[in-house]
Each structure stands twice: as structure tokens, then as C-alpha cells.
Amino acid sequence: MMPISDCQVRDPRIRRTRKLLQGALGTLMQAKSFDEISVQDITEAATVNRATFYDHYTDKFALLEALVAGGFHELLYARQVRYDAGCPAALGAIVLAACDYLVQVHARGTCDRQTAFEPLMDAAIVAAIRRLLIEGMKRAEHANTLQPEMVATSVSWAICGGVKQWFSTPKRPPAEVFVAQLSGLILPMLEAAGIAKHPV
């Protein structure tokens, strides 16, 4: 299984090459739709050869997924977001990060003409949130009858779906108001799994 983000790659040469490839794709997507961009276009813009591209990514879809996941992962890392079971504020920080990331991506205009972008963005957000939740659950001491993976998957999709609905709502409420609303819906899922405590 590939890492959730290239941020987890330790070798500086690999990171540098992947950053070049992702930067090239990001630049190309400002002018063309993803469907029109070839691996050759990407390698020429990144000034690397095709063999190097395939050493890092299986295809341009894997590169796009890494680009999207990397952006969300960097936001989570910059805010030092992590999930602590039993802490509603930790859940709220995750929801707020997803809201802010969606707003940032759309503000850059990256997904305006990109048909492949939206589902990959959803998958990247879900995967990053799922990973945070599983890590938090593993740190917590709880008697849980449900598998953490199942709970984390359900909750991460609920967060992603809720955030997307919030973003597409005309005259949407401020993110902070929405975060409290969505957290109120999701906390019972975590409580039912024995993973969260009621807020004090």
C-alpha cells in the first residue's frame, strides 16, 4: 500500500522528484484539463524522463491522487491536527481542516474544469481522516466491540460527505457553526463504538 502522502517519504531525493512531478501537473492543470494532459507533458514540464516518472507513480491518476493527498496532509500537519479519542475539540479540528481545504482548493480554481479531481479529492480527504482516527483509536484505551478500521472508515466518509454538502450549500453557515453541527452528528457514532466520551 502506498503512503497516504509523499510527506511520509524520508529520502530527500525521492521527495524532490515527486515535488517536481506534482508541481508540473499542478501547473499544467491551470491551462488544460486533466484528461488532455499526458505523462509525456508532465515529464517534459518536470524535466525528468518517463522512466523516472514510472519509478514514482503507476500513472497520472496516481500522481494526481498524491498531489491532492499531499495538500490536505500538509494542512493537517501545519495545524498539528490529530485525533484524541474522547476529545470533541479534536474531532472539530479535523472537520474544520476538511472545510478549509475544500475552500482553498476551489479558491485556486484547480477543480473548475477537472473531471478526475473531485473523486480523487474525496478519496484523499477520506484516507487522511481515516488514518488520523485509527491512530487516535489505537492510542486510546477503550473496550471497543467494533473494529477501529470500520468505525474510522464510516466516520471519515461521514465527515467528507457533510463537508461537501456544507460547501455546496448556497449561503452556507460559517465553518465554525457547521463544525459544531457535524460534530454533534458524528460523536454519537464514536460513542456507540466506545471510542468517544460525551462532551463535558
CA distances from 180 to 90, 174, 175 (A): 12, 10, 9
Alpha-carbon gap, residue 182 to 86, rounded angstroms: 16
74 or 145, which is more confident? 74
What residue type is 178 in one-letter code?
F
Q: pLDDT digit string (tens) for 120-173? A: 788 888 988 988 888 888 777 655 556 788 888 999 999 999 999 999 999 999
Q: What are phi and psi of 80, to 5 degrees?
A: 55, 45
- All domains of the chain in start order, with CATH: 10-57 (1.10.10.60), 64-192 (1.10.357.10)
Distance CA(194)–CA(146), nearest Å, equals: 8
pLDDT computed for residue 199 by the predictor: 45
Specify the DSSP class assigned to residue 59: S
CA distance 8 to 17: 14
* pLDDT band at 109; cut points 50, 70, 90: low
Contact 72, 156 (CB under 8 A): no
Q: How confident is the model at residue 4 (pLDDT cuts 50, 70, 90)?
A: very low
Mean pLDDT of the chain: 83
pTM to 2 decimal places: 0.77
Report pLDDT for 196.
57
Residue 198: enclosing H or E segment and its boundaries? none
Quick one: average pLDDT of 108-122? 69
Is the CB of residue 90 less than 8 Å from the CB of residue 83?
A: yes
- Dump pLDDT digits (tens) for 174-189: 999 999 999 999 988 8
Q: Which three cell numbers stand for residue 128?
A: 487522511
CA 83 to chain centre: 15
Q: Within 5-147, where are the H helices?
A: 12-31, 39-46, 50-56, 60-78, 88-108, 117-139
